[in-house]
Amino acid sequence: MPSSTEESAPAQRAEASGWVERAKLWNRRLHYDIGLMTLFYVWLFSLSGLLLNHQWSFAEFWPDRPQSQVEREIGPPAHGSDLDQARDLMRQLGLRGEIEWTTTRAEATRFDFRVSRPGEILDVRADLARNRATVQRIGLNLWGVTRMLHSFTGVRMDDPRNGRDWVLTSIWALAMDGVAAGLILMVLSSLAMWFELRSKRFWGAIALAAGWLSCALFCVGLRWLF
């Protein structure tokens, strides 16, 4: 007569096998869903990367960019930091976007800054003594917007003054973090699915090694070998 231990062993193996199959199913679902969610972001960054890497004539936008300039009357900006004053001037001028500090404030009566948003660059030059501000607008077409989004972060590592001060910039940066995390999860799920296919392990290992070696060449090898 079989013992209770012997009777429970097949049930435990069946339960473990069930957990493994459910994990494989969720891994595939995760891979597909993340791939669909990040698909257009990946295409966007792939296209913009190609545009940044090549000078294709059909994608040139800067020489033919539309420009305009207008002078407006302004009131004294609110007291506070430069950022507070820039925000107040933007409110007066009806501007929206990410504030960029492009020059150092040399005179108390001069206040210059840039407002950027996908499709538009606005250079604001305020004369606080005359209570007048000149706004130069530079328009960007679709190719310009695509390039701009590739590096639209609102921060500069070498300039602590530039930080994210527009809510849409923060949302865009958060979306990019999500895309990066999603791609990491997709790669991990791909490794798990590849390892399940015994017949594909050899060639998959070669492809994996080739990718690792080529990446290591650029990340580390160029420093030591060339």
State the maximum Cα–Cα separation within the chain, in Å, rounded to a whole number: 103
The radius of gyration computed from the CA coordinates of the chain, to the nearest angstrom, equals 27
Q: Percentage of the chain surpassing pLDDT 70?
A: 92
Q: What is the pTM of this model?
A: 0.78
The amino acid that residue 1 corresponds to is M
Mean pLDDT for 170-185 is 94
- pLDDT-derived band at 62 (thresholds 50, 70, 90) equals confident
Mean confidence (pLDDT) of the chain: 87
pLDDT for residue 131 is more than 90 = yes
Task: Give helix then strand counts, H and E, for the chain.
Answer: 6, 5
DSSP alpha helix (H) spans, the chain: 4-53, 82-93, 142-150, 167-196, 201-216, 222-225
